[in-house]
Structure 1
């Protein structure tokens, strides 16, 4: 540079320590409207005829090392303006529970850091991430929280809080860094969980026989599935939200199933989607998760009702009410679900609407500590055997006119050359246990879309 330079750049840079809690902002912390700007851009060159160059947007290269956290854009109107900045990566606190003894105590830290109450009575406790239910599990007493998956996932960055407003409580506040939101159990005797048992879809005659052993409840399914014995490492879908009619003791679920089994009684599953179950305290639609490692017998649970799932995000309360519900003939609201096994830790990571939420530790499973066998997408309903009006699935309709849908279906497999599979209709099997009451169909146009649901069959 005693002679000349090679390159020139304009924009922002941030530096943080590796163990930061709240990210440093770039510019004014915004990535879109009202962002920081650079104007009157020009540079000087060793050229007697044109020593000053005022570049156009096409003359410049863009570098974003973490584009969903800090971004840059150009407005090449009468004058080139470069906008840049962002809020950065929102990160949960990372601690080793080996420091905590039983995984639940850390000095004198409070368990509940903040409480958020809504007008309709829902209460969200912002619980210290180190005192979440997961660390009561005997296999997780010395567990080290994994901050992020090792694979290239969508991170916890977001351009605006509006991207996350999918639950009713969000408009009343947010949980601080280092905490996770948990729905408080409000009513005496009500565990905020469904009272009906979970069952696995009957892909075989053995499954059907075992499901028929329940004398109090009956389950019906309408779904599509893909079977890749010992090869599946996760799955993905976008499912629109509804609030169907559900009997008081029943439930209606729209979800993804990921499962493995080496026998009738050791089936392992990871499940995620939305559900309506009045026994949870309301007939609202809510995001749910579920896991079991013994075919729903004595292990596993919904949401955070038992130790198991490790939540790392402070943005979403699993089991809380959804704010936006689709309407027949009107606006459609959907949620994007992604479950993927980390190739290094073997933990199964959950991402919802582009935000990593946490993971099911590999230690919870036997066969699924490696891979899964089957993945399915669709609906399930549960009713007590003495019901009069059947519970609805999806939006209660079976036609393709504004139906319940599953889009962006794909699954991940143990194949370095082709780790993601986007299935066509011919790649999937259809299961309808009561097809004249709850149905599933496929539209294999430019994009595969699965339609499912129904009003049930009144007796």
Structure 2
């Protein structure tokens, strides 16, 4: 029987782990600490009905959909699983899109798919757990409402849309920027709501960090609800429903400078009837955050802003900041600079899908001498509202 005691134990273990991780570069975990971590891993990794070995070295488990970690959350004790959204936004599609806007033909390696009644989850390892918590301690956490809260070494280049909404969409150009230890580079779509004291957010996209999939771009989610944050499926809350798209898996193929471009078609939106928040990848519902997780002043009743863009972080003051996107500034344009196109939002009042008006897109770069962002409006549905963003490595940690 699920209990809040297990959830509390998980949180307490995670707090203990964070203190360990902050010193993991200097010390080797003791046998006692390792045993604590193993207990935490046994709680996170639920019994698998079937497992697969990925060609990138990690294990993919097929978990009973009703026995996944999500339901260890005390607020989801009696939750009924929603296998798919009851309503689906009519996202505008471009039937005449040129080959320059090729969508990422994302599929799990070797066409891996779990049996009916199960969901696919990337198995967490001891090293994964240490690195995920290190990333959080280094700054990978839901974006703050206050830009002044950014930790030293953290840089963003984003387009922001401030208006009441029920979610957004974007095609996120995928790259494999090389980064150094204690750094990361990512690109994502953010949906956010609430005041400073009850600020809540959901983001999805790709991330590159040395210890995560050996510096390969990987799918990720980061979210916060009721003052608690999480990454992928490392804690209770996010309900996975997909049998083929595991979070944390390598995103392939990636774009090449001057060559073929690929992007992840991502949408995050609040379903109309249940008011759950759904994460959809290339038209496939991957999973959702049940409405009870969120506060009334946060995301329970919709969002108040949507962001698109890139982030980088470097903890070491002796290193320059890493590449953002492709490593080229927005003026370099298609095939060179990274992009997010097909920007869409769901209007809070009409509930209709719309392009955010160009005049209402606010661009923000925390260090424009290193990284920048620009909006563009061209012909075609994908490019009628889009951004280019990014820049080379080069900022010193401020």
Fold match (TM-score > 0.5): yes
- Residues matched between the structures, number: 333
Separation of aligned partners in 1, 2:51 and 2:128: 21
**1:127 equivalent in alignment to 2:127:** no
**1:395 equivalent in alignment to 2:330:** no
| Structure 2 residue aligned with 1:246 | 179
**Aligned counterparts, 1:275-354, within 5 A:** 275-294=207-226, 299-354=228-283
User: Whose helix fraction is larger, Structure 1's or Structure 2's?
Assistant: 2
**1:184 equivalent in alignment to 2:113:** no
Distance apart, 1:386 and its partner CA: 1.4
Q: Deviations over 1:294-348 (max 9, x none)?
A: 56xxx12110011111111101001111121110011111110011111211100
Separation of aligned partners in 2, 1:340 and 1:202: 20
> Which of 364, 375, 395 in structure 2 is aligned with 1:442?
375
Separation of aligned partners in 1, 2:354 and 2:111: 40
**Aligned counterparts, 1:7-156, within 5 A:** 111-152=47-88
Separation of aligned partners in 2, 1:202 and 1:147: 31
* SS of residue matched to 1:248: coil
| Structure 2 residue aligned with 1:381 | 312
* SS of residue matched to 1:149: coil
| Structure 2 residue aligned with 1:425 | 358
Distance apart, 1:101 and its partner CA: 5.8
Q: Structure with the greater relative contact order (CA < 8 A, sep ≥ 6): 1 or 2?
A: 2
* SS of residue matched to 1:440: strand
| Structure 2 residue aligned with 1:82 | none
* SS of residue matched to 2:197: coil
Separation of aligned partners in 1, 2:197 and 2:316: 24
Residues 161 and 362 in structure 2, CA contact (< 8 A), matched pair in contact too: yes
> Which of 215, 224, 232 in structure 1 is aligned with 2:165?
232
Q: Structure 1 residues 315, 365: CA separation in 2 closer, same or farther (over 3 Å shift)?
A: same
Q: Deviations over 1:233-277 (max 9, x none)?
A: 110000111001222111111011111122x23210011111112
Q: Structure 1 residues 208, 335: CA separation in 2 closer, same or farther (over 3 Å shift)?
A: closer
Residues 70 and 235 in structure 2, CA contact (< 8 A), matched pair in contact too: yes
| Structure 2 residue aligned with 1:40 | none
**1:454 equivalent in alignment to 2:391:** yes
- In structure 1, stretches of 5+ residues that fail to align are 1-99, 105-109, 155-162
| Structure 2 residue aligned with 1:219 | 154
Distance apart, 1:281 and its partner CA: 4.7
Residues 102 and 142 in structure 1, CA contact (< 8 A), matched pair in contact too: no
Q: Deviations over 1:168-211 (max 9, x none)?
A: x53163211111111122345744623523355566xxx23333
Residues 184 and 322 in structure 2, CA contact (< 8 A), matched pair in contact too: yes
* SS of residue matched to 1:307: coil
* SS of residue matched to 2:202: strand
Separation of aligned partners in 2, 1:433 and 1:458: 11
Q: Structure 1 residues 289, 392: CA separation in 2 closer, same or farther (over 3 Å shift)?
A: same
* SS of residue matched to 1:244: coil
Separation of aligned partners in 2, 1:139 and 1:180: 21
* SS of residue matched to 1:327: coil
Q: Structure 1 residues 370, 443: CA separation in 2 closer, same or farther (over 3 Å shift)?
A: same
| Structure 2 residue aligned with 1:413 | 347
Residues 56 and 213 in structure 2, CA contact (< 8 A), matched pair in contact too: no
Separation of aligned partners in 2, 1:422 and 1:189: 38
Residues 199 and 219 in structure 1, CA contact (< 8 A), matched pair in contact too: no
Separation of aligned partners in 2, 1:233 and 1:285: 28
**Aligned counterparts, 1:346-365, within 5 A:** 346-365=275-294
| Structure 2 residue aligned with 1:270 | 202
Residues 185 and 192 in structure 1, CA contact (< 8 A), matched pair in contact too: no
| Structure 1 residue aligned with 2:338 | 404
Residues 273 and 289 in structure 1, CA contact (< 8 A), matched pair in contact too: yes
Residues 112 and 244 in structure 2, CA contact (< 8 A), matched pair in contact too: no
Separation of aligned partners in 2, 1:246 and 1:294: 32
| Structure 1 residue aligned with 2:25 | none
Q: What is the Cα-based RMSD across aligned positions, in Å? A: 2.5
Separation of aligned partners in 2, 1:440 and 1:387: 26
Residues 193 and 199 in structure 2, CA contact (< 8 A), matched pair in contact too: yes
Distance apart, 1:385 and its partner CA: 4.1
Q: Structure 1 residues 245, 294: CA separation in 2 closer, same or farther (over 3 Å shift)?
A: farther
Residues 104 and 264 in structure 2, CA contact (< 8 A), matched pair in contact too: no
